[in-house]
Amino acid sequence: MKKLAIVLPIVIAAGALLLTACESPIWSRSDTEVAFDSSGHVTKDVTYTYDGKDTETYSAGGTYEDVQKAWDATSSTWKQSAGDKGTYSYDTRIRMLTINYTQKWNGGINGSYVTLTSGSTDTKTDSWNQVLGSTNEYPAYLGSGGAYVQTENVTYWDGTSETGTWTITVPADLSIYAYTTEYVVYDATGTATSGSSKTNYVYTVSAIFPGSVTSLDNAKGQTVTLDYLKYVSTPYTWSSGSTFTAGTPTTYNSSGSNTVSVASDGPYLTFPSITVARHMTSK
């Protein structure tokens, strides 16, 4: 379900973000992280439900399954039309989720699972910074002092791989907030063959609400809205390896706002998911 090109193509202005410490609630101070054992597995089965029909399940035994459904007019029911199976592990120290894919659904609503084999272009492993909450899943950005990074590493059954990096910067005075995306593609020998989608966005904060908030430090424990009237977008062209060359910055006179719920200037921050999930089972 999670593939490199779609995990987080989010411009920071598109949603609200949360700066939080590990002991703090995740989002809106009403969600908390699920528990994991020493093997990196949830201590109780967790299933997230999206759109009322699609599910993503992490079992206490270490198995993973993503089920996507489509409407079958013949039987007048929702039937599985896509999905994946595999195993997973979680590193609580760096909040890194790793999924090892072993099977893929094939054939639409009349299909079945097939075993993945070497040579195919299907995803073999996918690792990225993620937080599993009691009601939703959240991408995680690790860091402190206003600088946060999320990374993702994907390998494919044909031996190729990709990496993705998303960087968020919020200075102490909250005068701007910046967001950068970057992708690099590698062949089966580990040589970088291309890079794409690197862009840097810098939003100039025009107003902060409440007005008593004047810095990242005194925003702790408050919900803060950052308004902007313009932003600068800078595209980058891949050169070689992990080297990108900056293009011409373009300024856009476009307004918007970003709401920040600040628990602490702690080890990670998260975005609320665009698609709201519900943690439906816990056994």
Which pLDDT score, from 0 to 100, does residue 58 have?
97
Query: What whole-number distance in Å separates Cα of residue 225 and Cα of residue 171?
Result: 15
pLDDT for the residue 133? 86
Residue 259: per-residue pLDDT: 67
**CA 210 to chain CA mean position, Å:** 28
pLDDT at 123: 97
Rounded distance between C-alpha atoms, residue 266 and residue 147, angstroms:
11
Q: What beta strand segments (E) does 74-156 contain?
A: 77-91, 96-106, 112-115, 123-132, 137-144, 147-156
Using an 8 Å Cβ cutoff, are 185 and 162 in contact? yes
Residues of the chain with pLDDT under 50: 1-29, 263, 265, 274, 282-283
- How confident is the model at residue 223, as a pLDDT? 67
Asked if residue 266 lies in contact with residue 16, where contact means CB atoms within 8 angstroms, the answer is: no
pLDDT at 7: 39
Give the pLDDT confidence score for residue 262 in this predicted structure: 58
Distance CA 76, CA 258 (A): 42
Q: How far apart are CA 177 and CA 267, in angstroms?
A: 18
The total of other beta-carbon atoms located within 10 Å of residue 231's CB is 23
Pair of tokens at residue 47? 């299933």
Nearest to 200 by CA among 161, 246, 239: 246
Would you state the pLDDT for residue 9? 32
pLDDT of residue 163: 95
Q: What is the pLDDT of residues 193-237, one digit of tens each?
A: 998 778 999 999 999 988 998 887 787 766 678 899 999 999 999
pTM: 0.81
Residue 154: predicted pLDDT: 97
Residue 196 pLDDT: 76
| Tally of helices (H runs) and strands (E runs) in the chain | 0, 19
Place of tokens 């300024």: 251
